[in-house]
């Protein structure tokens, strides 16, 4: 804005983009907060609508003719008869890791459970050993192509957790790598401190050694992470056999006192009061929840905590159980979908696959799955006022897909139809394939 005239300067027109010729625009437009209950069933799908962005922000939706006439300097983006959605929000990943852990997949297939692999020193411990041996540069280099593949599936915002370091220096190394990645990949990255992802092997064997690690997290890691501005959220793996509810409460309380927002890995494999704790602590989201109890559902509904469901994890672990998404929605809990991208339990960077699993495994409608992957993902990151919908004032975070109907997004199982994406109005994924 030119303060002397109150009008946009002449060059601003050059930054205007006009998205035309979309068969459908999935706006997800509505209040800038998590959607719950019946609200989740309305993805605000419009036809015959063009979208104008300027300066990285969505300015207007309207008829193609009117917007072209009023903004003749705008660059035209031909959506080629495809479907335009808000950029997807992947609100739960562990994208900073070293080597993949493919050997565990075969072990599980042979009947060795996830927790048993961890008890043998594998699982998270294997990734911890690996990450500790790597440099920050190495972690950045490994993450770039992984995050680019996530972007190629239509994702524009990604939460990334630390949690494979489990020493002050190694956790800081992971978080600094995330900060550097924000300049390397065209994505909005939201960092989460997960120093309580496991109790490291060197702190096992006695309750004093275990308590010493929790003291380290609470008194050294959290204050340093908060002081250095390296994370927006803190998270804990609260699960029988990992961190107890009372240990998790202590860690979350310290994080909150240091100004961090809260998330919780809760009730993933066993109902242990994790969801109730997330609600009690005012966490922004409670994640996993495949084993949530009825009381847990009620607590989340009462607190307004977002339930972030990660169905790919259960599928990859070979489990038949999934989080009770319908019961959560019926109880008024806002539901989000995320990949849980990590080397142990969910090595996928295919966000549309999550939409498929949302419908086929969690019994959501296509519209509910789309809301769960956009607005509610944004709410799970306290970003519902910034991204997740195609409406004036929101960040110009968009994804264009080579389909003719939004219901095809969950339908093409395992496929990726994203042909272009934009973050803050800047192209972040190639826009070069024909719409088929």
Beta strands 398-401; 418-423: pairing state: antiparallel
Smallest separation, CB 67 to Fe ion (Å): 42
> Using CB under 6 A as the criterion, what x/- string covers residues 264-293 for binding ligand NIG?
-x--x-------------------------
Smallest separation, CB 339 to ligand NIG (Å): 10
Q: Of 19 and 341, which CB lies nearer to ligand NIG in the complex structure?
A: 341
Interface of this chain with Fe ion, residues 395 to 434, rule: CB under 5 A:
none
| Burial grade of 64 (CB within 10 A; 0-12, 13-18, 19 or more) | middle
Alpha helix positions (H), 133-167: 136-152
Q: Of 238 and 428, which CB lies nearer to ligand NIG in the complex structure?
A: 238
**Range 114-119, long-range pairs (CB < 8 A, 24+ positions):** 114/269, 114/317, 114/344, 114/345, 115/241, 115/269, 118/198, 118/241
User: Residue 251 CB: number of other CB atoms within 10 A?
Assistant: 25
> Using CB under 5 A as the criterion, what x/- string covers residues 305-344 for binding Fe ion?
-----------------------------------x----
Smallest separation, CB 154 to ligand NIG (Å): 22
What does residue 139 show for φ and ψ, rounded to 5 degrees?
A: -65, -40
Residues for the chain: how many in total?
436
Interface of this chain with ligand NIG, residues 307 to 326, rule: CB under 6 A:
313
Q: Is 276 in the site for Fe ion (CB under 5 A)?
A: no
Cβ(395)–Cβ(338) below 8 Å = no
Smallest separation, CB 312 to ligand NIG (Å): 10
Query: Residue number with the shortest CB distance to Fe ion?
Result: 340
Region near ligand NIG per CB under 6 A, out of 7-15, 76-84, 122-130, 165-173: 122-130
> Using CB under 6 A as the criterion, what x/- string covers residues 217-256 for binding ligand NIG?
--------------------x-------------------
Q: Which does 345 bind (CB under 5 to 8 A by kind): Fe ion, ligand NIG, none?
A: ligand NIG
Q: Is 123 in the site for ligand NIG (CB under 6 A)?
A: yes
What does residue 260 show for φ and ψ, rounded to 5 degrees?
A: -90, 145
Interface of this chain with ligand NIG, residues 76 to 95, rule: CB under 6 A:
94
Element (H, E) at 118: helix 114-119
Beta strands 233-238; 261-266: pairing state: parallel
Separation between Cα atoms, residue 81 and residue 216, nearest integer Å? 55
Smallest separation, CB 129 to ligand NIG (Å): 12
* Listed residue (39, 14, 12) closest to 372, CA to CA: 39
Interface of this chain with Fe ion, residues 340 to 359, rule: CB under 5 A:
340
| Sheet containing 306-309: order of strands | 88-90, 155-161, 188-196, 233-238, 261-266, 285-288, 306-309, 335-337
Smallest separation, CB 20 to Fe ion (Å): 39
Q: Of 71 and 288, which CB lies nearer to ligand NIG in the complex structure?
A: 288
Q: Which does 344 bind (CB under 5 to 8 A by kind): Fe ion, ligand NIG, none?
A: ligand NIG
Q: Is 122 in the site for ligand NIG (CB under 6 A)?
A: no
Q: Is 124 in the site for ligand NIG (CB under 6 A)?
A: yes
Separation between Cα atoms, residue 302 and residue 284, nearest integer Å? 13
Smallest separation, CB 192 to Fe ion (Å): 10
Question: Sign (positive/negative) of CA torsion 260, 93, 422, 384?
Answer: negative
Q: Of 27 and 192, which CB lies nearer to Fe ion in the complex structure?
A: 192
Using the CB atoms, write b or e for 36-57: b if 16+ within 10 Å: beebbebbbbbeebbbbbbeeb
Q: Which residues bind Fe ion (CB under 5 A)?
A: 340
């Amino acid at each position: 804005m030119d303060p002397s005239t109150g009008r946009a300067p002449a060059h601003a027109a050059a930054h205007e983009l006009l998205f035309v010729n979309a068969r459908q625009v999935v706006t997800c437009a509505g209040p800038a907060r998590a959607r719950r209950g019946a609200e989740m069933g309305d993805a605000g799908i419009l036809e015959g609508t063009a979208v104008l962005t300027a300066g990285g922000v969505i300015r207007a939706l309207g008829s193609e003719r009117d917007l072209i006439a009023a903004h003749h300097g705008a660059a035209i983006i031909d959506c080629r008869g495809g479907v335009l959605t808000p950029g997807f929000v992947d609100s739960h990943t562990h994208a900073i890791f070293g080597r993949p852990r493919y050997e565990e997949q075969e072990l599980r297939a042979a009947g060795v459970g996830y927790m048993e692999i961890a008890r043998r020193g594998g699982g998270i411990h294997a990734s911890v050993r690996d990450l500790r041996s790597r440099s920050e540069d190495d972690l950045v280099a490994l993450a770039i192509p992984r995050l680019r593949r996530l972007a190629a599936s239509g994702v524009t915002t990604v939460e990334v957790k630390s949690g494979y370091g489990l020493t002050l220096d190694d956790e800081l190394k992971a978080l600094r790598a995330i900060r550097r990645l924000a300049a390397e990949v065209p994505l909005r990255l939201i960092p989460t401190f997960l120093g309580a992802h496991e109790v490291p092997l060197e702190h096992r064997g006695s309750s004093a050694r275990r308590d010493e690690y929790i003291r380290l997290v609470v008194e050294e890691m959290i204050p340093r992470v908060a002081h250095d501005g390296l994370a927006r959220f803190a998270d804990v793996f609260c699960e029988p056999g990992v961190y107890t509810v009372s240990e998790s409460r202590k860690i979350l309380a310290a994080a909150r006192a240091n100004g961090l927002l809260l998330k919780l890995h809760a009730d993933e494999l066993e109902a242990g009061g994790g969801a109730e704790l997330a609600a009690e602590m005012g966490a922004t989201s409670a994640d996993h929840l495949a084993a949530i109890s009825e009381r847990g559902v009620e607590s989340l509904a009462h607190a307004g905590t977002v339930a972030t469901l990660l169905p790919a994890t259960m599928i990859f672990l070979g489990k038949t159980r999934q989080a009770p998404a319908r019961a959560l929605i019926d109880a008024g809990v806002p539901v989000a979908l995320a990949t849980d991208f990590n080397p142990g339990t969910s090595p996928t960077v295919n966000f549309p696959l999550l939409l498929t699993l949302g419908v086929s495994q969690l019994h959501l409608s296509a519209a509910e799955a789309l809301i769960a992957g956009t607005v509610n993902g944004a709410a799970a990151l306290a970003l519902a006022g910034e991204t997740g919908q195609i409406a004036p004032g929101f960040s110009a975070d968009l994804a264009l897909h080579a389909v003719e109907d939004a219901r095809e997004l969950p339908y093409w199982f395992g496929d990726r139809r994203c042909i272009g994406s934009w973050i803050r109005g800047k192209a972040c994924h190639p826009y070069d394939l024909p719409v088929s």
